[in-house]
Chains A and B, each alone.
Chain A
Amino acid sequence: MNAFEYTFLIPFIPLLGFLLIIFNFKRFPKKLTAALATSLIGISFVLSVYTAWQYFIIMGPLHGVYPKIIGNHFEWLKLGEHLSVHMGTLIDQASVMMLIVVSTVSLMVHIYSIGYMHDDRGFNRFFAFLQLFSFSMLSLVIATNVFQIYIFWELVGVSSFLLIGFYYEKPSAVAASKKAFIVTRFADLFFLLGILLISFHTDTFDFISLTNPENFERFNLHGTTFLGLSIPALALILIFVGGAGKSAMFPLHIWLPDAMEGPSPVSALIHAATMVVAGVYLVARMFANYAIMAPEALALVGYVGAFTSLFAAVIATTQIDFKRVLAFSTISQIGYMMAALGVSGYGEEAGLGYMASMFHLFTHAMFKALLFLGAGAVIHAVHTNSIREMGGLRKYMKTTHITFLIATLAIAGFPGLSGFFSKDEIITAAHQSYPLVFYTLLVVAGLTAFYMFRLYFLVFWNTETHYHHKPHDPGKAMLIPLIILAVLSIVSGYIPFGEFVSSDGKPLHTHLHFDIAIISTLVSFVGIAIAWFLYKKSSDLTSHLIARWGTFYRWAYNKFYIDEVYLFITHNIIFAYISRPIAWFDRHVVDGTMNVIGWITVTTSEKIKGMQSGQLQQYAFAFVSAILVISAFLIYYLINN
Chain B
Amino acid sequence: MWQDISLQDVLIVSTLMFFSGVYGFLTRRNLITMLMSVELMLNAVNINFVAFNYFLHPENMQGMFFALFVVVIAAAEASVAIAIIIGIYRRFKSINIEDVSKMKF
**Is B86 in contact with chain A by the CB < 8 A criterion?**
no
**Is B100 in contact with chain A by the CB < 8 A criterion?**
yes
Q: What is the CA–CA distance of A616 and B97 in the complex, to the nearest angstrom?
A: 7
Contact B104 A616 (CB under 8 A): no
Contact B22 A624 (CB under 8 A): yes
Chain A interface size band reads 10 to 19
Chain A residues with CB below 8 A from B98, complex form = 615
Quick one: closest B residue to A617, CB to CB? B26
Q: What is the CA–CA distance of A609 and B100 in the complex, to the nearest angstrom?
A: 18
- Complex partner residue of B102 from A610, A614, A620, A624, CB under 8 angstroms: A614
Q: What are 18 sample pairs from A and B whose C-beta atoms fall under 8 A apart?
A: A610-B105, A612-B104, A612-B105, A613-B101, A614-B100, A614-B101, A614-B102, A614-B103, A614-B104, A615-B97, A615-B101, A616-B97, A616-B100, A616-B101, A617-B25, A617-B97, A620-B26, A624-B22
Chain A residues with CB below 8 A from B27, complex form = 617
1/0 per position for A617-631, CB-CB distance to B under 8 A?
A: 100110010000000
Contact A613 B104 (CB under 8 A): yes
Shortest Cβ-Cβ A-B pairs, 9 listed? A614-B101, A614-B104, A609-B105, A612-B105, A612-B104, A614-B103, A615-B101, A621-B26, A616-B97
Quick one: closest B residue to A613, CB to CB? B104
Query: Which of B51-105 touch A at CB < 8 Å?
Result: 97-98, 100-105
Max chain A Cβ within 10 angstroms of own Cβ: one of B98, B103, B105: B105
Inter-chain pairs besides A610-B105, A614-B104, 7 sampled, C-beta below 8 Å:
A612-B104, A613-B101, A615-B98, A615-B101, A616-B100, A616-B101, A617-B97
Chain B interface size band reads 10 to 19
Q: What is the CA–CA distance of A617 and B97 in the complex, to the nearest angstrom?
A: 8
Contact B104 A620 (CB under 8 A): no
Chain A residues with CB below 8 A from B25, complex form = 617, 620
Q: In the complex, what's the smallest C-beta–C-beta distance from A422 to chain B, in angstroms? A: 90
Chain B residues with CB below 8 A from A624, complex form = 22, 26
Quick one: closest B residue to A615, CB to CB? B101
Max chain B Cβ within 10 angstroms of own Cβ: one of A612, A617, A620, A621: A617
Q: In the complex, what's the smallest C-beta–C-beta distance from A627 to chain B, in angstroms? A: 10
Q: What is the CA–CA distance of A614 and B27 in the complex, to the nearest angstrom?
A: 16
Quick one: closest A residue to B27, CB to CB? A617
Q: What is the CA–CA distance of A620 and B98 in the complex, to the nearest angstrom?
A: 13
Query: Which of A316-331 touch B at CB < 8 Å?
Result: none
Chain A residues with CB below 8 A from B22, complex form = 624
Q: What is the CA–CA distance of A610 and B97 in the complex, to the nearest angstrom?
A: 18
Query: Which of A160-219 touch B at CB < 8 Å?
Result: none
Chain B residues with CB below 8 A from A616, complex form = 97, 100-101
Q: In the complex, what's the smallest C-beta–C-beta distance from A261 to chain B, in angstroms? A: 67
Q: In the complex, what's the smallest C-beta–C-beta distance from B21 to chain A, in angstroms? A: 11
Q: In the complex, what's the smallest C-beta–C-beta distance from B20 to chain A, in angstroms? A: 13
Q: What is the CA–CA distance of A609 and B97 in the complex, to the nearest angstrom?
A: 20
Q: What is the CA–CA distance of A252 and B103 in the complex, to the nearest angstrom?
A: 75
Query: Which of B10-42 touch A at CB < 8 Å?
Result: 22, 25-27
Q: In the complex, what's the smallest C-beta–C-beta distance from A531 to chain B, in angstroms? A: 91
Chain B residues with CB below 8 A from A621, complex form = 26
Q: What is the CA–CA distance of A364 and B23 in the complex, to the nearest angstrom?
A: 109
Q: In the complex, what's the smallest C-beta–C-beta distance from A603 to chain B, in angstroms? A: 15
Q: In the complex, what's the smallest C-beta–C-beta distance from B26 to chain A, in angstroms? A: 5
Chain B residues with CB below 8 A from A612, complex form = 104-105
Q: In the complex, what's the smallest C-beta–C-beta distance from A63 to chain B, in angstroms? A: 97
Q: What is the CA–CA distance of A180 and B25 in the complex, to the nearest angstrom?
A: 86
Chain A residues with CB below 8 A from B104, complex form = 612-614
Q: In the complex, what's the smallest C-beta–C-beta distance from A447 to chain B, in angstroms? A: 86
Q: What is the CA–CA distance of A610 and B103 in the complex, to the nearest angstrom?
A: 12
Q: What is the CA–CA distance of A614 and B101 in the complex, to the nearest angstrom?
A: 4
Chain A residues with CB below 8 A from B102, complex form = 614
Q: What is the CA–CA distance of A303 and B20 in the complex, to the nearest angstrom?
A: 104
Q: What is the CA–CA distance of A621 and B97 in the complex, to the nearest angstrom?
A: 14
Q: In the complex, what's the smallest C-beta–C-beta distance from B47 to chain A, in angstroms? A: 19
Q: What is the CA–CA distance of A436 and B21 in the complex, to the nearest angstrom?
A: 111
Quick one: closest B residue to A616, CB to CB? B97
Quick one: closest A residue to B25, CB to CB? A620
Quick one: closest A residue to B19, CB to CB? A624
Quick one: closest A residue to B103, CB to CB? A614
